Amino acid sequence: MPSKQKIMPVDKLLTGISRFRKYVYPKHQDLFEKLATGQRPEALFITCADARVDPSLLTQTKPGDLFICRVIGNIVPPYPDAIGGVSATIEYAAGVLQVPAIIVCGHTDCGVMKGALNPGALEGYPNVTAWLRYAQVEERELEPSTEFLLALTERNVVAQLKNLRSHPTVAARLDEGNLVLHGWVYHIGPGTVTAYDESSRKFLLPKPV
């Protein structure tokens, strides 16, 4: 029988809201008042729902900079399969908000990648199991190494970029030449990000800016 996890008290979250209102909001009041009337995000950031991934902290962006889509495995179902929240978010970001960039960001030690390697362990979770088919895991290891999981994570990001291109609003914007796609992997331990390079078909550390 699985052990019970400690539930975070809501009081801790409410305390955080109070601190935000007292210490953070006053420093950025002009920004929040401007955001109250609309948004113009610079990118759609599609990443995993994993609690260790914080897009705004990772990219050091402010509220309003990123339009964020979080879903386990940073998965983008190909169009028109599984039309739902992810597809609607992509369509809204690319079609209505006209974001100039879309980033698909995976991460190391991803539970979805581990689950895709061992689907039998998730038999009691039919929705998770159904979702994992989009991870497109073709080869398996009984005891996957860190290197194997990283390679799997990278291939998954590339696969989701391919799926992203199947969405009509994305395809249209790509044809117009006013949208760019990026594939990233966030390495949690060292705090680094590698980016997919189309020419070499490898994930490389970006050049310092």
Angle of CA points 192, 195, 198, to nearest 5° = 165
Look at the alpha carbons of 137, 140, 142, 144 in this order and tell me if their dihedral is positive or negative. Answer: negative
Pair type for strands 180-187 and 43-47 = unpaired
Q: Is 127 within the bounds of a domain?
A: yes
Q: Is 14 within the bounds of a domain?
A: no
Q: Using H for helix, E for strand and C for coil, what is the string for the chain?
A: CCCCCCCCCHHHHHHHHHHHHHHHHHHHHHHHHHHCCCCCCCEEEEECCCCCCCHHHHHCCCCCCEEEEECHHHCCCCCCCCCCHHHHHHHHHHHHCCCCEEEEEEECCCHHHHHHHCHHHHCCCHHHHHHHHHHCCCCCCCCCCHHHHHHHHHHHHHHHHHHHHCCHHHHHHHHHCCCEEEEEEEECCCCEEEEEECCCCEEECCCCC
Q: Is 102 within the bounds of a domain?
A: yes
Q: Is 4 within the bounds of a domain?
A: no
Q: Is 17 within the bounds of a domain?
A: no
Q: Is 13 within the bounds of a domain?
A: no
The count of residues in the chain is: 209
Q: Is 8 within the bounds of a domain?
A: no
Give the pLDDT score at 70: 98
Give the pLDDT score at 123: 87
Give the pLDDT score at 6: 64
Question: What digits encode the pLDDT tens for the residues 9-58?
Answer: 899 999 999 999 999 999 999 999 999 999 999 999 999 999 999 999 99
Domain CATH number, residue 179? 3.40.1050.10
Q: Which residue has the tokens 């970029």?
A: 161
Mean pLDDT, rounded, for 61-73:
97
If one counts the domains in the chain, the total is 1
Q: Provide the domain limits for residue 171.
A: 41-204
Question: What digits encode the pLDDT tens for the residues 127-140?
Answer: 998 998 898 677 66
Give the pLDDT score at 116: 87
Mean pLDDT, rounded, for 83-110:
97
| pLDDT higher than 70, residue 2 | no
Q: Is 26 within the bounds of a domain?
A: no
